[in-house]
Amino acid sequence: MSHTAKQSSSPNLVDVEYGSVLLLGGTGTGKTYGLKSMLKTLMGSSSKISLYTINVKDSEYMDDFKKNHISTTFEKSSNIKPGSIVVVEDIIDLRPKEEIALRQMLNWEAHHKKLKIFCVSHNIFKTKLYNTISYFTFVMFTSSLGNLFVLSKCLGYFQLEPAVINSWVEKIKMFRGALGVYIYFDVSQRNLYATNNLTGTEFSKQIGSSEESSNSKVDQEKKRLALQARFELFFKGRKNGQQAMAVFSILNQCLEPDLIKAIDLTLNFNSKEGIKGVSIIDYIDSMLDSDSRPPSTAQLVLHNYVRERCTIPKIFLLNTNFE
């Protein structure tokens, strides 16, 4: 692979000639700190690299990059010198001409003029940024828990499976929104990383791969087949066995298989008393009880949970307490 085609492995863009980063996060979550640490790594003590800023209060960058700093606008972006760094801050609502200028910068000028572009915003909605996500080399997030909604929507833009996105979100929650931790998505490689130091690639750790998308489908199907076979062992030869297997086949498709324990086919849920396990075997057996004996509170809780996700045909609701 040639040097000009080399893909950056870090959002600091140190190891490439050009690239672009979209940095998202709420106020006070570390956006400016993260951005300045990357800029200092890029520029070092060099006075030859020009730093152009758009929508930036001069005082924010004058102290740190006074010798290199040039304030400009979208209208004058065509005058940016080759080999420069560009920072676009505080993207709230791009006007049509600004949106076109930004896309031109990301799609053409970054490559042909060897620019390194950093865009900063709180959100992607109502900012005209959502449809420009694919133009960036990296989409980067502060680890703030308040950022998870935006992060999920951004990853959804790249058509990742919902199960994969949910899995990644759970991993990100483990950082508990710690300041100084950043999550970034490599748009080309479709991998997700976490780092607590933006000065070098050695501090980054991959926490997700798009390959999980295809693998997860296979794994989920294998788990469902195993659960179905396990369930049939409990009802094989029983009078209501065929009905029970039919009901479980519905639940098996609408519930996440990871929520069901394969050993005893219980489903755990949170309650005021803590985590409780409900036997799906007893639940279905109670549902098919034509004598309509009262189900337990836990079984009714499970039934409401199931009804939010799928519909059990009335022909199986032999116990009138479940209607």
| 25, 62: one domain | yes
CATH number, domain at 113? Answer: 3.40.50.300
| 204, 237: one domain | no
Position 2 pLDDT exceeds 50: no
Whether this prediction's pTM lies above 0.75 is answered by no
| 184, 291: one domain | no
| 128, 10: one domain | yes
| 164, 227: one domain | no
Query: Which residue would you say has higher pLDDT here, 53 or 222?
Result: 53
3-class secondary structure for the chain?
Answer: CCHHHCCCCCCCCCCCCCEEEEEECCCCCCHHHHHHHHHHHHHCCCCCCCEEEECCCHHHHHHHHCCCEEECCHHHHHHCCCCCEEEECCCCCCCHHHHHHHHHHHHHHHHHCCCEEEEEECCCCCCCCHHHHHHCCEEEEECCHHHHHHHHHHHHHCCCCHHHHHHHHHHHHCCCCCCCCEEEEECCCCEEEEECCCCCHHHCEEEEECCHHHHHHHHHHHHHHHHHHHHHHHHCCCCCHHHHHHHHHHHHHHCCHHHECCCCCEEEEEECCEEEEEEHHHHHHHHCCCCCCCCCHHHHHHHHHHHCCCCCCHHHCCCHHHC
| 126, 161: one domain | yes
| 232, 174: one domain | no
pLDDT (0 to 100) of residue 125: 85
| 155, 10: one domain | yes
Position 43 pLDDT exceeds 70: yes
- Tens digits of per-residue pLDDT, 249-305? 999 988 888 889 899 999 887 666 666 789 999 999 999 999 999 999 889 989 998
Domain tally for the chain?
2
Percent of the chain with pLDDT over 70: 92
- Domain span holding position 14: 3-210
| 284, 159: one domain | no
Q: Span 128-146, mean pLDDT? A: 92
